Amino acid sequence: MEAGLEEAERCFEAAQRCLKCGDREKALQYLHRAQQRYPTQRVKVLIDSIIRNGSSAGWSNDKDAGDAVNKSSRLKRCVNGNTPAGISEAAKSYTQEQLEGVRRIKRCKNYYEILGVGKNADDEDLKRSYRKLALKFHPDKNCAPGATDAFKAIGNAYAILSNPEKRKQYDQRGEEPPTVRSSHANSSNYYREFEADITPEDLFNMFFGGRFPTGNIHAYTNGRTTYTHIYRRRRRMNERVEEDEQEDRTQGTYSAFVQLLPVFILVLVSLVAQLMVTNPPYSLYYKPSLGHVLSRETERLKIAYFVDKGFEQEYRGIPLQNVEKNVENDYIDHLQNSCWKEKQQKTDLLNLARLYRDERLKQKAESLKTENCEKLSRLVELQRGG
């Protein structure tokens, strides 16, 4: 399952690159392969979107990677060595490669080495490395001993190096041995001077689709200030900001009313104008609210329409001919729009049938009736005959 998920993610990333280059056909091939390796709803929707609109519709690769990891976490949970009810002990298994990866993190001497980047790495390099390592060492995916601590070290390394000010301070202080934090009290030398004020899980969720944490990714502690104190200070700051905003709203109420007064006047004038507009003399449909309850037919094309009770007394001769001409034009426009929708629906189904090689979907598309197109064709023939 894990191999299929990783293969699907690689195919999805390749499809995104193809879409940026404008190669839709190649992107569809990669998406189809990803769906075979690890079926997901986001890939199916993206395929439909490309077929309909020819674009990726703004999908984010990072967000969906987080969705995929969250889905796999429901199948295998091994954070801190605890196995939830209903999950077998086999979920705790790990590979030699995962164990060696944890040991490598423990042996690292600085944050750059943890992320596997050079000291001249830019933001994109840091993000790319963090995404790869976070997925590899997340406790839901890696059950090797020490994987949780390695995951924390990776998150802390990225949080420090992604902040220009803290990165500069870190480079000036020199390289201190980044011992991976352990749950035991004796292992406490985990970069006390450079510990980020954000949990590894919050940082992971920010990259892969989870909701944003309440903390700031570029706010840090010195090892003596606790998270609770920081959150309290933020809450007090938020309260002061809300008080200032309330005061500004009170003072600005009058000025806002003056600014909106022209808008109110325009709305009032529009309402009065609508009340003065007379109702149309006909309707293609039965509308008792407008009084259009009497059915009639046009003389030339026999198009049915509805009028009120005083229509025959008001419209005769030339005015009646003009009304019936408008009725026929409106009806033809309606048929043209409806016919286009029917053809578009049929084309979409045929494209999906060819993409998925679904014979039943193809038969359904071919059996779709285009009633409005047929009506439009008969009217065109009638006009030619007339």
Where does 193-317 have alpha helices with state H?
200-207, 227-276, 311-314
Identify which has the larger pLDDT, 64 or 299.
299
* Out of 16-20, 27-31, 240-244, 311-315, least confident range: 240-244
The gap between the terminal CA atoms of the chain, to the nearest Å, is 69
Identify which has the larger pLDDT, 199 or 18.
18
Phi/psi at 290 (5° precision):
-100, 0
Q: Which of 288, 287, 282, 278 is nearest to 303 (CA)?
A: 282
What gap in Å lies between CA 1 and CA 132, rounded to an integer?
A: 18
Specify which of 61-65, 213-217, 226-230, 257-261 reaches the highest per-range mean pLDDT.
Answer: 257-261
Q: DSSP class of residue 225?
A: S
Q: Which of 200, 202, 201, 195 is nearest to 178 (CA)?
A: 195
Mean pLDDT of the chain: 75
Q: What is the pLDDT of residue 344?
A: 92
Residue holding tokens 């840090």? 220
Residue holding tokens 């892969």? 208
pLDDT band at 234 (very low <50, low <70, confident <90, very high): low
Distances (CA, A) of 114 to 105, 107, 157, 206, 363: 6, 9, 7, 20, 57
Using the Cα atoms of residue 290, residue 296, residue 299 and residue 302 in order, give the sign of their dihedral. positive
Condensed to tens digits (0 to 9), the pLDDT of residues 113-122 reads 999 999 899 9
Two structure tokens written together for 271: 């309402």
Statement: residue 238 has pLDDT above 60: yes
Cβ neighbours of residue 2 closer than 8 Å, sequence gap 6 or more: 72, 141
Condensed to tens digits (0 to 9), the pLDDT of residues 191-214 reads 444 455 566 666 676 666 544 343
Phi/psi at 196 (5° precision):
-75, 145
pLDDT band at 24 (very low <50, low <70, confident <90, very high): confident
CATH label, 60-225, candidates 1.20.210.10, 3.30.70.2860, 3.40.50.300, 1.10.287.110: 1.10.287.110
* Out of 98-102, 210-214, 376-380, least confident range: 210-214
Phi/psi at 306 (5° precision):
-125, 140
Cβ neighbours of residue 355 closer than 8 Å, sequence gap 6 or more: 28, 32, 47, 51
3-state secondary structure of 306: strand
